[in-house]
Structure 1
Amino acid sequence: MLSGYSVWRPGGAIFLASVSLIAQSTQTPPATADLTSPALRAHASLLRYFRAGPSLAQDLADARTGAAQKNIVWKGLSFFVNDAENLGGLTPAFARETYSKLTCKADAVVIGQTQQSVSHISDWGTVYTDYVFAITAILKDNARSLIRQKATLILTRPGGSAMLGGDPVSSSYRGFPELKQGAIYLQFLHYIPESSAYETYDAYSTLIATGQEWVVARQGSAVALPGLNRGVLETTINEWLRSCRN
């Protein structure tokens, strides 16, 4: 549990002076995708990472001052964004409608695991993470840039931990939890031509394999897709693809 100096502000952000930091990068065996490519700098200006309000530097200064006034040891600043609705009422009909639409809208649908990750601070002062995602199955290939011959792709998502001027900064999003190594994910993806990478389509677009179920990835919750177990969903996606309008 996090404890320490906190300040609430509109938009669901919580500032904490005492935080548990997430590793800024994960060390794993070499991957074919390159997290150091200059083209990935384009992710810093993605609209998904926009936030209004004071600059990050100002937020850090205010939080440090507040921590000092309360005699709290300064350990950094953390944002939590409640950007996704409760999934308690997820019905079979809603699940099929949601994921049939996602199947058609997404540029690619893949299954795989994360290998490496590096976090950055966006142009608007939010933290995002670029992941190397190792592909084990392609359910829908990207017609604009085929991925069928690739072993990995770059996936960018909100959230992560980074440093700014020596200060730890982290962001976590209810709808976009951190991807864990060793977990199997099914991802509905949007293509980013500027970097030849991908972003998760929306807050419903990351599913994690749990036993025989596909579970919607949410911070602090685990809701399985009703009627769309592992194997069933993959087959159903193939059927939905045949009905998508070009």
Structure 2
Amino acid sequence: MKTLAIDTSLAAGSVAAADDDGVAERPLGAPGDHARLLAAALDEVARRRGWQVRDADLVAVVRGPGSFTGLRVGVATAKAIAWATSARIVGVSGFAVVARMTARLTDWRDAPIAIPFDAGRGEVFAAVATPAAEPGGWHVGPAVLVAAEAWIAALPAGARVSGPALERMAAAVAARDDIVLAPTACWFPTAGEAAGLGSLCAAAGAVDDARTLLPDYLRPSYAEERAAGPGETGR
């Protein structure tokens, strides 16, 4: 199966092309360049695998959490490719991508992993991934929006932690000597990892409808919160 994958959820976006013989991946650079570079970058990684974008059987895209603009750009591009090529499409959770990558790069395959994504304003989107008989091997529990300090304080003793929010709060987490941090190489989702997870989902029949797939923002935008007024956003 020929799979294209897109991750524009965070500042360090990437794209990948994967097939039965290997994976080609490249970064997208600064966040403002993602929309401008996506088409050419996807064409490049597909050619490095010896095929073209129009040959894709599947498009996988990280649908959230992450940057509002980045998620919109990534999902819209994935849907456009799926419509143009009749490829199937899978929106994958950034939490699941991090869990799968962490398990692959460590020996953390037998216990839950607590995963934080930076939500800004001193908050994190947090979820727990648990080993499960699901595509990719992990079940992601409900995500919550919580103050970063409160999330750190609530971690149980012995918790295993991996995720992009650690980039700015690793020291605070590490201050608890009963918490285990994953290596930094595990913290951020990548398109290559999303391609692998998307392929497993598709093989299990867990694909999305390009007409209805949406980003998973996990919160209203700041403008939407202001328009809704105090007490109307659930926060």
TM interval, short-chain normalised = under 0.3
- Give me the TM-score of the superposition, normalised by structure 2: 0.25
- Compare the two structures and name the one with the higher helix fraction: 2
Question: With structure 1 as the length reference, what TM-score do the two structures score?
Answer: 0.24
Q: Which has the larger radius of gyration?
A: 1
